[in-house]
Amino acid sequence: MIAAPSRGRTSGRDMIAATRMAIELTEKDFVPLEQCQFQHWGERTGAPFDRIRPLGDAAAERVWARAAALSSATWSEAAPGGDEIDLGSVDGDEKTVKRHVAAWLRRREASDGPGPDQPVILCYQPRVAVVVPWAIVCEHWLIFFWTPACAWPTSEQWVLVHDGDRFAFGRRP
């Protein structure tokens, strides 16, 4: 489940509730991949494009609003070197870097993070968001995170932020 934050006047209590509320997505919120203009994904076939579920404009805007609410939520502090990775600090050629980051993402599963089949919402812009299984995100991370993005499961128990140069992974306290 995922839900848009409440609108109008908010108190501190409302803000806490808003950061715990989830967005609800239904089948009507999704559009065919062919309608996804982001990075021409709708023109592509095969893995991982066959696993991408794009959201329509209205649903993507709800997800964007939720990303803003999640960014103000309290997340656990990262352990030194554990829940953050700077891409500039990874030594090796492109293939080595890809393997290293994919392994780092998969290790989030081992620490009570997402399961491999867990659907993850990836939000890029106010009208661009998709849902993809976590294992696909890990395996093809460079396709999904070539640009800054935010990712989280429908449970909202964790969030992954990519700013272009590094990843940070936070959990609910």
Using an 8 Å Cβ cutoff, are 28 and 20 in contact?
Answer: no
Look at residue 16 in the predicted model and tell me its pLDDT: 35
Q: What pTM was computed for the model? A: 0.80
Integer angstrom CA distances of residue 88 from 58, 74, 85, 129, 136: 36, 27, 9, 26, 23
Residue 8 in tokens: 């109008």
Look at residue 12 in the predicted model and tell me its pLDDT: 35
**Amino acid present at 171:** R
Model confidence band, residue 82 (pLDDT cutoffs 50, 70, 90): low
Model confidence band, residue 73 (pLDDT cutoffs 50, 70, 90): confident
Residue indicated by tokens 């070539």: 146
* Range from 47-61, 68-82, 158-172 carrying the lowest mean pLDDT: 68-82
Residue indicated by tokens 């089949």: 117
102 vs 87: which has the higher pLDDT:
102
